[in-house]
Chain A
Amino acid sequence: MYDHILIRYGELSLKGKNQKSFVRQLVRNIQDKIKNYNGEKVFLDIEKGRIYLKLNGQAPEKFYEPLSKVFGIFSFSPARKVQLKIEAIQKVALEELNSLQVQPRTFRSTVRRPNKRFPVTSPEAQKLIGSYILKNTENLQVDLHHPDVEIFVEIRDDAAYIYTNKIQGLGGLPLGTGGKAVLLLSGGIDSPVAGWLTMKRGIIVEALHFYSYPYTSERAKEKVLDLARILTQYTDQINVHIVPFTKIQEAISANCYESLWITIMRRFMFRIAEKIAEKRKALALVTGESLGQVASQTVESMYAINHVIHTPVIRPLVTMDKEEIMDLARRIQTYDISIRPYEDCCTVFLPKEPKTKPKIEVCEKEEAKLDIDNLVDDAVKNTEIIKIKAKEKDAFGYF
C-alpha cells in the first residue's frame, strides 16, 4: 500500500540561497491546499529536493487533484517507504509491480542513491531488484530501453522510496514567492490566461475590472467574478477591484477624437491601475495584450498607452497566437466563461476606425480637454473590492 506521496519541485533546486524560503512557501501552499482533505501534515526535506506527504492510511488518489493545482510542483508519485535493507527493497519493489492495474510485459528498475552510505551501489541494486522480480514472477522480461513499467527506487538517508507512477504537476514557482501584481481582468479570453501565467511564476494577483454600468450589465460583472473564481483554484483568495468607469468613458467620448477613444481609455485604465497597485503594494500590472491582436495592441499603441505610467507591465501573452491562448484558456477552464456574450467596457465605446499608430502628442492634446486627475482619483476612490474565496458558501444560504 502507498504510504507517501513524493513531491518534486524541479526548478526550485536551482534557486541557490533563496531555495529555503521557496520550499517553505511551497510547503505552506501545499498545506493550505490539502487542509480540507483531512491530509496529514506534510514534512519537508530541503537538501534532497523532495517533499514527502505522509498518507497515514488515506488513499493517495484524493490528493492528486489538489496537488495538480499547486504551482511549483514539478511532479509527484505515490510511493512506498521501505527500510534501508536490500531484501526489504526487493520485496516491496515486487509488491509495487504486482499491485499495478495493468500487468506489464516488460520492466526495468532504476535506482538513485543520494545516500552514499548505503552499501549497495545503484547499478548493483538495479541488478538485485531486477533478478528478484524475474525470479518471483512469470511472463515478465527486462527491457532497459522501452519498458512497460519503470520501477523507481530512491535510496535516501532514512529510508528508500519505491514508485512507478509519475504524475505531472503544473511546474512554475510557488505562489507568494514573487510579490504581487494587479491584473487587468476584462472578461475576455486573454486576461484570465495572463493572470494564470503570472500566478504560475509565483506572483500573487489582484484583479481589476473596469465596470461601465449601465452600458455593461450586472452579468458582465458576474462573469469577471466567475473568472476570478476559477483562478482561486490555484490560491485561496483573489481580490477583485471593481472600478466605476462609466464617467470616464462618457467624458472621453464626449470630448476626444473618436479614433483615439480606445487609446485614451487605456491610458486612463493604466493610470488607475497604477494608483490601485500602489495602494495594494503591488509592483507590476498584468495585461492580456498580445501583439497585433487589435488596434490597441500594436507596438505603437502599447508605447502610447504605457507612456503614462512607470510601473512595469507584464504581458505574458504578448507573442502568443490567439489559438495558443485559447488552448490555454480551455485547459484552465476559463474559456467557457469568457465566451459568454456580455458586453464589456472595451466593446461599448468602440470607434469606427481606431488608430493603430496613435501619437503621444495628439493623445496628450486630446486628454488636456479632460480633468484627468480628478477623474482618476474619483474612480480609485469609488472602487469596490470583492473578495473571492476558493471555498465559497452560496450567497443565498440555501445549500
Chain B
Amino acid sequence: MLYLDNSATTSIHPEVRKIICDVLEKHFGNPSSLHKKGVEAEKLLNKSREIVAQSLQVNPQEIIFTSGGTEGDNLAVKGVALQYHKRGRHIITSQIEHPAVKESCRQLEELGFEVTYLGVDKYGFIAPEDLLQSIRPDTILVSIMHVNNEVGSIQPIAKIGDFLKKHHKIFFHVDAVQGFAKVPLKVKEWGIDLLTISGHKIHGPKGVGALYVKDGIKIVPLLAGGGQEAGIRSGTENVPGIVGLAKSCQIAREIFVGNSKKMLDLRKQCISMIKDKLPEAIINGPECGEVSPYILNLSVPRLKGEVLVHALEKEGIYVSTGSACSSKKNITSPVLDAMGIDQETKLGSIRVSFTYETSLEDIKMFVNNLVKIVGQLINKR
C-alpha cells in the first residue's frame, strides 16, 4: 500500500498511539473533579497545553483545545464576529478557504454580516494588496488560510499580518491546519490573533485540535456549558486526544522540520518525472516557490480525477480528487474554480499529498503507475 493522501488525514504515529492508549487506560479522570484522579487528568491537560503552546511559541493560556480544524475555524470566525459585531459587521476572507471558514462566513451573512471573498491568481495565491483595498471602517475580521489544502499554495500571511498591524481593530485569523508543523510559521511575529490547528494532519489523533487566541481577545463561545477551556469551549476535555495532540506536536517538530528540504526536493523530482513521462499532465497550483512540500495537485487531460483515483487504488495507491471534504459531491472544486482553471482540467484533478515518510521510491512508484494507468485508460477509449 502506498498512502499519498496525507492532506486528508495521516496515520497515527506509533508513539502517539501508545500514549493515547495509556491515558485511556490509566488517566480516565475528569479534569474538573476535585479528587486525585481529577488532579491527575488536569495535570496532563496543563502539560499538554504547555507543549502545544511551545510548538506555536505562544503562551499556554492562549491555547483552547477543540475537536479539530472545523471547530477551531467556526469558533474563531463566529466567535470574533459575534463578540465584536458592534464594532462592525464586515469580514474579509478568500475564495479558497476551507469550507469550515467559508460556511461560517455564509452563516454570518444570514445574520447580516457582509463578507468579501478575495480571489486568487492562477497559482492559488491571494494578493495582499487586494486585501488592503477591501478593508473598510467596519471590517472586524480577516480570515486567511496558511497553506491551501488542495494545491498547497502558501499564502503571504506575514505580509498580511504586517498590513493589519496598522489596523488595531481588525482581528486576523489563520487556518493553519495544513501548514502547521510542515512549513515555517511565526504566530507572534506575523501578528496573528487567532490560529487553528488540527491533530490528525500531523500524525496525531482525529477529533482534537487547538485554537490559539491571543491574550486579551474575547470570543463568544459556540458551546455553552460547564465553562471548561476558560469558558470558551465547554465540555469535558478529551484528555487522551489532547495528550495525543500534544505528543504529535512534539514529534512533528522532529519529523517535519528536519525534513523540509528533503521533501521540497522530492516534490520537485516528482514534478519533473511527471513532466518527463507524462508531458500532457498539468500541474495545478505553484510548481515551486511558496508552496507546501507536501501537496501536489495535477490533472491529466481527458481523464476524470475520480477515475484516476480508483484506478490508482486498484494498484494500492491512495490519492484523492480535490479535497476529501468535497470529493463526494459531484461539483468541481471551488479552489480550482477561483484559480480560473478550465472545466476539463478541473474535473481531471487529483491531489497527491506526502508526509515525512514518503521516499523517492514511493514517488517513482506513484509516477510509474500513473503513467501506466493513463496509457491503459486512454487506449480503451
Contact = CB atoms under 8 A, between A and B. Distances in A.
Given A394-B47, A399-B51, A218 B36 contact: yes
A214 B303 CA distance: 72
B44 A396 contact: yes
B43 interface: yes
Given A217-B34, A398-B19, A222 B43 contact: yes
Contacts of A336: 61
Given A217-B34, A219-B34, A398 B39 contact: no
B247 A399 contact: yes
Contacts of B42: 219
A222 B43 CA distance: 9
Interface string B268-295: 0000000000000000000000000000
B247 A398 contact: yes
B39 A219 contact: yes
Interface in B42-99: 42-44, 47, 51, 61
A395 interface: yes
Nearest to A398: B19
Contacts of B34: 217-219
Interface in B219-256: 243, 246-247, 250
Interface string A236-249: 00000000000000
B35 interface: yes
A218 B35 contact: yes
Counting contact residues on chain A (CB < 8 A from B), the size range is: 10 to 19
B250 A399 contact: yes
B204 to A, nearest CB: 13
A395 B61 CA distance: 21
Contacts of A219: 34, 39, 42
A219 B43 CA distance: 10
Interface in A343-399: 394-396, 398-399
Given A394-B47, A399-B51, A218 B246 contact: no
A339 B161 CA distance: 34
Q: Is the interface of A mostly helix, strand, loop or mixed?
A: loop
Given A394-B47, A399-B51, A222 B250 contact: no
A217 B37 CA distance: 12
Contacts of B43: 222, 395-396
B47 A399 contact: yes
Given A222-B43, A394-B47, A399 B36 contact: no
Interface string A200-218: 0000000000000000011
B242 to A, nearest CB: 11
Counting contact residues on chain B (CB < 8 A from A), the size range is: 10 to 19
A217 B39 CA distance: 10
A242 B250 CA distance: 34
Interface string B2-34: 000000000000000001001100010000001
A61 to B, nearest CB: 14
Contacts of B36: 218
Contacts of B61: 336
Contacts of A394: 47
A384 to B, nearest CB: 15
Interface centre among A219, A222, A336, A398 (most CB of B within 10 A): A398
Contacts of B250: 399
A222 B39 contact: yes
Contacts of B51: 399
A399 B246 contact: yes
Nearest to B243: A398
Contacts of B19: 398
A218 B39 contact: yes
A199 B47 CA distance: 27
A219 B45 CA distance: 14
Interface string B317-361: 000000000000000000000000000000000000000000000
A377 to B, nearest CB: 28
A222 B36 CA distance: 11
Interface in A217-242: 217-219, 222
A219 B246 CA distance: 23
Contacts of A398: 19, 22-23, 44, 47, 243, 247
B191 to A, nearest CB: 18
A219 B40 CA distance: 10
Contacts of A396: 27, 43-44, 47
Interface in B108-162: none
A338 to B, nearest CB: 15
A285 to B, nearest CB: 29
Interface of B: 19, 22-23, 27, 34-36, 39, 42-44, 47, 51, 61, 243, 246-247, 250
14 contacts: A217-B34, A218-B34, A218-B39, A219-B34, A219-B39, A222-B39, A222-B43, A336-B61, A398-B22, A398-B23, A398-B243, A399-B47, A399-B51, A399-B250
Interface of A: 217-219, 222, 336, 394-396, 398-399
Instruction: For the complex of A and B, list the 7 residue pairs with the smallest distance between their C-beta atoms, beginning with the closest.
Output: A218-B39, A398-B19, A394-B47, A218-B36, A217-B34, A399-B51, A219-B39
